[in-house]
Amino acid sequence: MMQFVITLPWAILLILFPLTGAIISFLWPTQSNKVGLVTVSFVLISVTFLAFSIIEHGVYHHAIGGWGSPLGIDLYADGLSLLMLLMTALVGLGVSVYATGYFSAEQSPRFWPLWLFVIAALNALFLSADIFNYYVTLELIGLAAVSLTAFGKSREAYSAAMRYLLATLLGSLLYLLGVVLLYHGFGSVDIATLSERCESTPILWAALTLISAGLLLKTALFPLHFWLPSAHASAPAPVSAILSALIVKSSFYIFLRLWLTIFGPLSEGAVENMFGLLGAIAVLWGSFQALRQTRLKLLIAYSTVAQIGYLFLAFSLAMSGAVVAWNAVVYLAFTHALAKSAMFLVSGNILYFGGHDRIMNLDRIAQHLPITTTAFALAGVSIIGLPPSGGFIGKWFLLEAALVQEQWGFVAILLIGSLLTAAYIFKVVSHAFTQSSLPHDSRPIPAHMEWAALLLAFAAILLGFFSSSILSVVGIGYPFELNGVKP
């Protein structure tokens, strides 16, 4: 029985469930909350079974409709894809439970179809095996995400959505032109085929520049992060959580994949060092800006800019030979998704409860919303990288890689970054405990909204205890082995 269940095509269901759910919730608006919750539960179940199947049988391969590459579309899942799918499903469930309380009966029928489309597109992206499919799924994610950003219906929200749309379309077009050049130069869009055929030619380097620029714009690496803070801060809390936790990771995942399979083996190292440098500046700049903010949501959004910097720092160390830094990439990406979504949900709770998110006036929250305050503190522990959280494991691997490589500049940046992070987290926590002079109105908050935030934050801590088993699963299919031998 179990064997039969595992052999079902879970990867395809991962795309079909949310797609169907989106259409049903659109056609049946009165039941959209229920339809949405059932759908995300199915998604989590599908990921679990896909995980069983991958652990048992190794890398997953499926040619849709029996047409393999080069003509048809292939689905592919190794340990890295599985991790991203799992991240999407876990964050997705938390955000969905939260959204049933956050959105009014009038808003939820508009939220669910878009959100379920985002899940479908994310899952499709993580399962894709060709660079053109990446383009299509990126656009699907982008359009749904922009519509979600405009959900607030204020002039800030519309303007932020518009800026986000222009940035994401520009990113996609740069990426697409790169894809075109790769296809012209090497006659395939299939990643596996490209990794065999690609050679160091001018076309490859032009494609690399265009593709990397497009993806960095979408991932919001400094200095291309200009669109992120306004978009992430002016969206409703569940949407901010989705944008910060999942959507920036989707373009980062493509970036990682393409560098691992196509560009990395051919590169001399100078470009990767530049990404590392940009990452380092992003860590400092993002943390510094976060510290300066007076509104909680903007603080969390700038913290995302800094955390993206860590990902690229780890990427650059890993590419220059410190294999342990790949563990840092994996861990930082996964724990950031959980902790950051928890933080945005907390900011939503505070807005819902007190009607504002000014950090100065976060009084009485610790007394009135103890679960929410705990959730913020736990998520903060993981973002700062204190033991025993998942964030600590990620930072530890990163520090180890920097020390092994004797990159003392990066070591210094890691320490300064952690200090700044601790400073802005404690800034919020201390204001939550102090007594404010102005009493203000508040409205009661549904319990499951508080628990959703707490459980996500708790999951980020829990990740710290399972590092060896998680990393062994991520290693299935050797996603981090570069084709060319590197010292």
Query: Are residues 46 and 13 in contact, defined by beta-carbon separation less than 8 angstroms?
Result: yes
Please report how close the Cβ of residue 332 comes to another protein at its closest, in angstroms. Answer: 30
- 440 near another protein, judged by CB under 8 A: no
Query: Are residues 263 and 208 in contact, defined by beta-carbon separation less than 8 angstroms?
Result: yes
- 165 near another protein, judged by CB under 8 A: yes
Enumerate residues 6+ apart whose C-beta is below 8 A from 8.
49
- 146 near another protein, judged by CB under 8 A: yes
Query: Are residues 39 and 46 in contact, defined by beta-carbon separation less than 8 angstroms?
Result: no
Enumerate residues 6+ apart whose C-beta is below 8 A from 142.
165, 168, 169, 172, 218
159 token code pair: 């303007």
CA–CA separation, 453 and 101 (whole Å): 12
- Residue among 37 and 162 whose Cβ is closer to another protein: 162
One residue of 41, 147, 320, 483 binding another protein per CB under 8 A: 147
- 177 near another protein, judged by CB under 8 A: yes
One residue of 38, 45, 63, 162 binding another protein per CB under 8 A: 162
- Residue among 183 and 451 whose Cβ is closer to another protein: 183
- 70 near another protein, judged by CB under 8 A: yes
One residue of 90, 176, 322, 328 binding another protein per CB under 8 A: 176
CA–CA separation, 331 and 336 (whole Å): 8
Applying CB under 8 A, the site for another protein has a residue count of 31
Please report how close the Cβ of residue 99 comes to another protein at its closest, in angstroms. Answer: 22
- Residue among 7 and 201 whose Cβ is closer to another protein: 201
Enumerate residues 6+ apart whose C-beta is below 8 A from 189.
70, 130, 131, 132, 133, 179, 182, 183
One residue of 184, 292, 358, 440 binding another protein per CB under 8 A: 184
Contacts of the segment 171-174: beta carbons below 8 A, 24+ positions apart: 171/138, 171/213, 171/214, 171/215, 171/217, 171/218, 171/251, 172/135, 172/138, 172/139, 172/142, 172/214, 172/218, 173/214, 174/210, 174/211, 174/213, 174/214, 174/217
The angle formed by the CA atoms of residues 485, 486 and 487, to the nearest 5 degrees, is: 130
Coil, helix or strand for 65?
A: helix
- 65 near another protein, judged by CB under 8 A: no
Query: Are residues 372 and 346 in contact, defined by beta-carbon separation less than 8 angstroms?
Result: yes
Please report how close the Cβ of residue 71 comes to another protein at its closest, in angstroms. Answer: 8
Please report how close the Cβ of residue 180 comes to another protein at its closest, in angstroms. Answer: 5
Interface segment toward another protein; rule CB under 8 A; list 40-48, 169-177, 242-250, 268-276:
169-177
Q: Is the dihedral of CA 55, 121, 136, 252 positive or negative?
A: negative
The phi, psi pair for 295, rounded to 5°, reads: -110, 140
One residue of 8, 166, 360, 415 binding another protein per CB under 8 A: 166
What residues does 358 pair with on adjacent strands?
295
Please report how close the Cβ of residue 338 comes to another protein at its closest, in angstroms. Answer: 30
What x-and-dash track marks residues 218-237 binding another protein by CB under 8 A?
------------x-------
Question: Taking Cα atoms as reference points, which of 141, 266, 273 lies closest to residue 215?
Answer: 141
Please, which of residues 110-139 interact with another protein by CB under 8 A?
A: 132, 136, 139
Please, which of residues 235-294 interact with another protein by CB under 8 A?
A: none
- 192 near another protein, judged by CB under 8 A: no
- 155 near another protein, judged by CB under 8 A: yes
Interface segment toward another protein; rule CB under 8 A; list 116-124, 144-152, 301-309, 353-361:
144-152
- 141 near another protein, judged by CB under 8 A: no
Interface segment toward another protein; rule CB under 8 A; list 12-20, 76-84, 174-182, 264-272:
174-182
CA–CA separation, 219 and 171 (whole Å): 9
- Residue among 41 and 147 whose Cβ is closer to another protein: 147
Interface segment toward another protein; rule CB under 8 A; list 177-185, 251-259, 404-412, 460-468:
177-185
345 token code pair: 């949900």
One residue of 127, 161, 332, 345 binding another protein per CB under 8 A: 161
- Residue among 136 and 422 whose Cβ is closer to another protein: 136
- 154 near another protein, judged by CB under 8 A: yes
Contacts with another protein, residue ranges (CB under 8 A): 70, 132, 136, 139, 142-143, 146-147, 150, 154-156, 158-159, 161-163, 165-166, 169-170, 172-173, 176-177, 180, 183-184, 187, 189, 230
